[in-house]
Structure formats: structure tokens, C-alpha cells
Amino acid sequence: MSAREIARADINEQERTLEIEWDDGHLSIYPLKLLRSECPCASCRTIREEGRNNPFRVIGPNERPPNFDLEDVEPVGRYGMRIHWGDGHAAGIYTFDYLREICPCEACRAARQGDQAPFVHGIYIPP
């Protein structure tokens, strides 16, 4: 199987989305908020795990709420992209595989449910 490739990627400032057209013709539209909340870097993953274990976690004094302004997108090799957020966070490398995995369109969501219901990205989704 060949590596995933992007035919087109556009930032829609108005809608605050990132649109990716894949080489197989599939179109993914990611709200920036979704991309930030699915940031694949180690510290965001840890915060998500903690949030799962304790939904009432208090945000520490040094933690600012995440910022959903997209400052810049930097290609990483031929396999992914690094997103620079408005608050300076840029640790997450979104590989094309990962992006395709979190595609929020209905077809992808339905396919994921069929695959691994009731878990989506390790999160239990009640039926």
C-alpha cells in the first residue's frame, strides 16, 4: 500500500476549518478546534488521558486554555504536517495517516464505528 498523499490543503479562515483533499479524491474538513483537541503530541495526549480519568480536573495556574488560532502549517517530510497554534504550541506532528484516521466526515465516522465500536480513538462511545 502506498503512503497517503494530499492533493490539496486549504485553510478556510471564515469557517475556521482545514480542508484536505486526498489523492484518492476523499475530502476531509477539520474544524480547527477538533485538530487542536486531537493534537498528537505527548503532552496533549497526557492531558487527554488525565481528563478521561478525572473529568473534574482543575486547570493549573500555568496552563492556559488551548488556542484554536492556526498560525502556520509546516510540511514534515512527505508524511505529515506540523501545526503552529496561536499560543505558540507546535509540538504536534499530524501525520497524514493520523489525519485520515480522525476525519470527521460521516462516511469515516461510520466506517470507524463498524471497525472498532464502541471505541473511537480509545474513547468509549456508548451505543
C-alpha span between 120 and 113 (Å, rounded): 7
Binding piece for Zn ion, criterion CB under 5 A, among 7-15, 61-69, 107-115, 117-125: 107-115
Which of 29, 44, 47, 73 is the binder for Zn ion (CB under 5 A)?
44
HEC per residue, 62-99: CCCCCCCCEEEEEEECCCEEEEEECCCCCCCEEEHHHH
C-alpha span between 30 and 27 (Å, rounded): 10
Which of 18, 32, 83, 103 is the binder for Zn ion (CB under 5 A)?
103
Residue 107 or 123: which CB sits closer to Zn ion? Answer: 107
The number of residues that bind Zn ion (CB under 5 A) is 8
* Interface with Zn ion (CB under 5 A): 39, 41, 44, 91-92, 103, 105, 108
